[in-house]
Amino acid sequence: MLTAEFLDAVGGLTSHIKIYATKLPSVVHLKAVPSGVKPSLEAIDSYETIVSRTRSQTAGTPYKRLNESLVSSLEAFEMGNLLGAVQPLLSVLDHLERLQSEKEIEVGRLDEQRFKEYRAALHKVLPGNQPELDGSGGGVS
């Protein structure tokens, strides 16, 4: 498996998370969402297919260590836990960058750009990244 192929999988998972995030109400508890707002069965099946295919192709590669994070993301996605689905993918991106810096994998210029794009997309769907919340949490003045 090449870095570009692994990043394709991360990109697919990121897309599913972005689509799911658009269906959530603007304010939702991080650990649970109403059952009517969970990802569709089709989205869950597609997410699971990406994770399964990636896991089967990573045997004997440096990417094998990332399978646990992919499964964690899948399990959270299935439950409708947005934060739980995003954090493992951010961890995967961090780990890929470490593998690159340690010269265990080769990453081309276009793939480096994809790291940045996926990280930005995942951060954008995290709670607290909405402009209407800017300045909140500062306490009473």
Q: Which pLDDT does position 37 carry in this prediction? A: 76
The Cα–Cα gap between 29 and 136 comes to: 16
pTM: 0.81
Q: Can you give the residue ranges of every domain in the chain?
A: 3-21+38-127
Q: How many CB atoms lie within 10 A of CB 76?
A: 20
The Cα–Cα gap between 77 and 48 comes to: 10
- What residues in the chain have per-residue pLDDT under 50? 132-141
The Cα–Cα gap between 60 and 58 comes to: 6
Q: Which pLDDT does position 128 carry in this prediction? A: 66
Q: Which pLDDT does position 132 carry in this prediction? A: 47
Backbone angles phi, psi at 7, to 5 degrees: -65, -30
C-alpha neighbours within 13 Å on the C-beta side of residue 6? 29
DSSP class of residue 139 equals -
The Cα–Cα gap between 95 and 137 comes to: 31
Tokens for 91, please give them.
Answer: 């961890």
